[in-house]
Structure 1
């Protein structure tokens, strides 16, 4: 299997690192699950670190495409016929790379949530590295569907060139909620339940089963 260089892994990929929508990929590689499950362990403490340690109604400024919800995934699947999961998975990594950077950027060095967030980012990068290495390099050298390419271009645009209308404000907690929910949706095989099959891409799943499906705080 051909692998991308370490520098590409760390940079999160270059423009166009996706398969066309018509190509169907194999299920999530088994080696992806351990780092994603470790990441999920960290995310289970997000309420404590992203809500309790911030002022009430605290928000940060982010790109509108970084508000990446289950509804965004559903909409993209409708817009692009036969959209490959690899495309959405790669976009998920690109989105949340930016989200974590922006959350860390607003924290002073002594902020009580900074060590947690730095560790979360480290685990995220570990998962991204495994993701890239789990696929042949040529897989990441195909053109994106136009809709996804537009989103990717927006996310990688220089901040000072982004129009004011494209910026949004969101709480750190809500951003990590999106991070967690979309991770379960796009890598559902790594979070299989011993109970009945779960639809992690359904908003109702998270509303009805919050206490059951999210791990308790420590």
Structure 2
């Protein structure tokens, strides 16, 4: 049993090192692979109680329609990717907050967090002036723990379903992988 655990840790360490050396497109490709439907269904629906929801801020739910609206408002693609990163990583943290370490979904969400950490290193190069004002305000709202913020109950799987859909919209053409 301990050998299996050591092997998993070794794989995670290698994956973390690989993710640290990869660029934005490669990391999002790894995320796309990790967010396959079967995995989201198993880890974020089947392993949770029926109709289980997580309380998130209204701004932490980013749908493709939000991206389309922002695109029509002339927000840059780079700013939209920056927004997607912050909203999706925050949603993942909301899911992790409710999981005990022994939960069957813990390791899966840990792997996703490692990929988002690697992507965060890519986005750490952004300066506040590089991001559109609309996006900067949204990112600020997502990271504020204000008691005044509107909350809504969302299923964990729905949060990562939106994450994947928006990621495909923003990176599919740019990175040259199938956006369907």
Normalised by the length of structure 2, the TM-score is 0.78
Tell me the distance in 2 between the aligned counterparts of 1:131 and 1:144: 11
Normalised by the length of structure 1, the TM-score is 0.65
> Once the 2 structures are TM-superposed, how far is the Cα of residue 41 of structure 1 from its aligned partner?
1.2
> Once the 2 structures are TM-superposed, how far is the Cα of residue 31 of structure 1 from its aligned partner?
3.2
Partner of residue 147, structure 2: 162
Tell me the distance in 2 between the aligned counterparts of 1:162 and 1:69: 23
> Once the 2 structures are TM-superposed, how far is the Cα of residue 143 of structure 1 from its aligned partner?
5.9
Asked whether the equivalents of residues 37 and 191 of structure 1 are also in contact (C-alpha less than 8 Å), the reply is no
CA deviation map 1:124-157 (0-9, x unaligned): 211232344xxxx4x5241643432331221122
Tell me the distance in 2 between the aligned counterparts of 1:167 and 1:106: 16
Partner of residue 185, structure 1: 169
Secondary structure at the counterpart of residue 61 of structure 1: strand
1:32 to 7, 24, 29: 24
Partner of residue 127, structure 2: 140
Give the length in aligned residue pairs: 156
Tell me the distance in 2 between the aligned counterparts of 1:95 and 1:168: 15
> Once the 2 structures are TM-superposed, how far is the Cα of residue 39 of structure 1 from its aligned partner?
1.2
Tell me the distance in 1 between the aligned counterparts of 2:177 and 2:136: 31
In the alignment, structure 1 residue 113 sits paired with structure 2 residue 105:
yes
Secondary structure at the counterpart of residue 127 of structure 2: helix
The answer for unaligned runs of 5 or more in structure 1 is 1-29, 194-199, 201-212, 214-218
Secondary structure at the counterpart of residue 68 of structure 2: helix
Q: CA RMSD of the aligned region, Å?
A: 2.0
Query: Whose helix fraction is larger, Structure 1's or Structure 2's?
Result: 2
Asked whether the equivalents of residues 128 and 136 of structure 2 are also in contact (C-alpha less than 8 Å), the reply is no
Q: How does 1:40-119 map to 2 (within 5 A)?
A: 40-44=32-36, 45-78=39-72, 80-81=73-74, 83-119=75-111
Partner of residue 197, structure 1: none
Runs of 4 or more, structure 1, over 3 Å off, are: 143-146
Tell me the distance in 2 between the aligned counterparts of 1:42 and 1:144: 28
CA deviation map 1:182-203 (0-9, x unaligned): 111111133523xxxxxx4xxx
The answer for unaligned runs of 5 or more in structure 2 is 1-21
